[in-house]
Amino acid sequence: MRPILLPDPPSLSTGVPEIFEQGGAQNVVRRAVVIGNGFPGSENQCIGLVRALGLAENHLLYRVTRPKGGINEWLHWLPVGFHKKLDFILRHIYLYSRLMLRSKQSKYITSENGGNVGLSSILEADVKKIVTMARETYEKDGPLVVIACGRDTVSIASSIRRLASENVFVVQIQHPRSHLNRFDMVITPRHDFYPLTPEAQEQVPRFMRGWITPREPPTDHVVLTTGALHQIDYASLRKSASAWHDEFAALPKPLIVVNIGWPRSNCRYGADLAKQLTDSLLNVLGSCGSVRIALSYKTPEKVSRVIFKELGDNPKVYIWNGQDPNPYMGHLAWGDAFVVTADSVSLISEACSTGKPVYVVGADHCKWKIADFHKNLRERGVVRSFTGFEDMSESWSYPPLNDTAEAALRVRHALAARGWSLRS
């Protein structure tokens, strides 16, 4: 199978010698702040954009944290600020009642209220502190790019922009489910606007259409991507190919990598899809040199049990057990083709950034906007359905997805429109 060469990311150079650039430090962007929500899938998109902007060595990570444990696990639908206030009140009511009923045990109150010990080591996303930093360091260090992703980060990011609009450029990744003009830029997949299509409208009862978001089409400051942003590019794959050379170079070719995620609300499956996957893999095994399977830490036991039962003893198959160093980047660098479960936009987007064959299993289990995502990829020739009748030694290619670099270029252009230049 011939190797696929990835395109180099767009140059972030302005094309003008530094000594001729107009403006001083106040016009040059040298740093970034990431507002995360603690979920790797969201924070990975932010860090990927930071890397593509050339700011990987000069960024701070803040997190929006929610109360955990007990009834809090059922309250994640609440706005994060209200959730924290409610948790504060409930904790004090609980502690006061304990104090009144068992005053002799009051010495234990501190330890009980310390259930979240360890969160102090995380930089909590505090609007006032970030705004103060942006204002007070502007003259010396220039503007601040703020990049956020996830529902819990929306109020934080929009507040930072409202309070320090002259000192920051705020990017919200994924549709914020609120007014888009609260941000300098919104970067979101095209399928996030699927609810506005006639096909989607037909699926929603008329009386509920006013509750479905988004309610407005994308504007000029909205960047539409095909998939999720990530950290995979030519440089990272080349580095990973070198790092994993000793483990993968000698494996029989073609090397088929299977990435298994977990069921989501818009893409539900169970042991039935796992059995379909293993049957299809066994059917194509003759055209495979070797197969490596990686399960997510959230993959249900009923799915992993089928995988191990059907393929665990096959000499051509290696199943990563989660204990060794994570071979994910090595898989992307050395894999000749990929089979990915349909649930994960991130896993599929990263595989499609390699330009190598990507087969998807379980797309028929997906609905709503995730089904639209798969339809778009198939129409572009980026993925194919995994049927179990493929000759895995035959290669095919396509223009690799380059969403992260393209989004970074749009950010750079937007900064230039404000008179700011981007320097690493």
Model confidence, pTM = 0.84
Backbone angles phi, psi at 223, to 5 degrees: -100, 120
Is residue 53 within 8 A of residue 147, CB to CB? The reply is no
Write the pLDDT tens digit of every residue in 296-337: 999 999 999 999 999 999 999 999 988 879 999 999 999 999
Write the pLDDT tens digit of every residue in 144-197: 999 999 999 999 999 999 999 999 999 999 999 889 999 999 999 999 999 999
Say how far apart CA 187 and CA 407 lie, in whole Å: 7
CA count, 13 A, side-chain hemisphere, 253: 11
CA distances from 56 to 6, 50, 51, 423 (A): 21, 6, 5, 11
The ranges assigned to domains in the chain are 28-66+121-226+405-422, 234-400
β-pairing, 28-29 vs 222-225, is unpaired
**Tokens in use for 102?**
């068992």
Cβ neighbours of residue 400 closer than 8 Å, sequence gap 6 or more: 4, 6, 7, 352, 353, 354, 355
**What percentage of the chain exceeds 90 in pLDDT?**
72
Q: Report residue 210's pLDDT band, with 50, 70 and 90 as the boundaries.
A: confident
**Tokens in use for 330?**
């090595």
DSSP line for 188-236: EEGGGGGGGSHHHHHHS-GGGGGGSS--S---TTEEEESS---S--HHH
Q: Report residue 409's pLDDT band, with 50, 70 and 90 as the boundaries.
A: very high
H/E run at residue 240: helix 234-243
Say how far apart CA 90 and CA 170 lie, in whole Å: 34
Q: Which amino acid is at 206?
A: R
Architecture of domain 28-66+121-226+405-422: 3-Layer(aba) Sandwich (3.40)
Cβ neighbours of residue 207 closer than 8 Å, sequence gap 6 or more: none
Identify the pLDDT of residue 273: 98
Backbone angles phi, psi at 25, to 5 degrees: -60, -30
- For the chain, how big is the Rg over CA atoms in Å? 24
Its CATH class, for the domain covering 234-400, is alpha beta
**Tokens in use for 114?**
């310390």
Is residue 54 within 8 A of residue 145, CB to CB? The reply is no
**Tokens in use for 251?**
């494996």
What's the length of the chain? 424
Say how far apart CA 160 and CA 339 lie, in whole Å: 41
Does position 368 have pLDDT exceeding 70, yes or no? yes
β-pairing, 28-29 vs 31-36, is unpaired
CB atoms within 10 A of CB 143: 26
Q: Name the 3-class secondary structure at 395.
A: coil
Same fold, 28-66+121-226+405-422 and 234-400: yes
First CA to last CA distance, the chain: 37
Q: Report residue 114's pLDDT band, with 50, 70 and 90 as the boundaries.
A: very low
**Tokens in use for 370?**
């995730």
Helix ranges (H only) for 79-152 are 80-101, 109-112, 127-136, 138-141
Q: Which amino acid is at 123?
A: L
